[in-house]
Amino acid sequence: MSRTRTVRDYIRTIVDFPHEGIMFRDVTTLFADPRGFRMAIDQMLHPYAGEQIDKVVGLEARGFILGGAIAHQLSVGFVPIRKKGKLPGTTISQDYKLEYGEAIVEIHDDAIAAGEKILLVDDLLATGGTAAAGIRLIERLGGQIVSCAFIIDLPELGGRKVLEGMGMDVHALCEFDGA
């Protein structure tokens, strides 16, 4: 008798990508499977049943796929946070540290109204740098973050602790050991 599949079962691991020693957790296999994708979206939504959420914010790029589907299910708007220079309108920016250097993300300056309840989503929580930058952008616009939702948490990299240290509620569907 076979056991019921979990979201984690749909995620493949690619060894030594993009660099030697990295275990890349590839969610494209999850997205490509209709049952797996629906399971992930349903489970990401579950903790927020009955919560007021005005908009879903997705982090580039896989957060757009998840965020769009979640926003659709909630019948709310979707807002992208993108890499610098990718949004056409007036934006605000936030820099953050990478393993080697820095990066900048942006959001349209009119994307969130003060007081709006926001759900931040992405596929993976590693060090928390990108998510923390997104949180700062949302807060600068006056948005109130209800929670941060991810498919995967890599607990050894400490991202959950970073976000919880910022006062955030964090949910992840599964965890993987290692980088």
Q: Which residues are catalytic?
A: 62, 99
Edge-to-edge strand ranges of the sheet holding 77-83: 91-98, 101-108, 77-83, 55-59, 117-125, 144-153, 170-175
Distance between CA atoms of residues 160 and 100, nearest Å: 21
CB of 93 within 8 A of CB of 125?
Answer: no
Distance between CA atoms of residues 99 and 42, nearest Å: 33
Distance between CA atoms of residues 164 and 132, nearest Å: 10
- The full length of the chain comes to 179
Nearest to 96 by CA among 61, 45, 140, 132: 132
Return the residue matching tokens 């934006």. 91
β-pairing, 12-15 with 144-153? Answer: unpaired
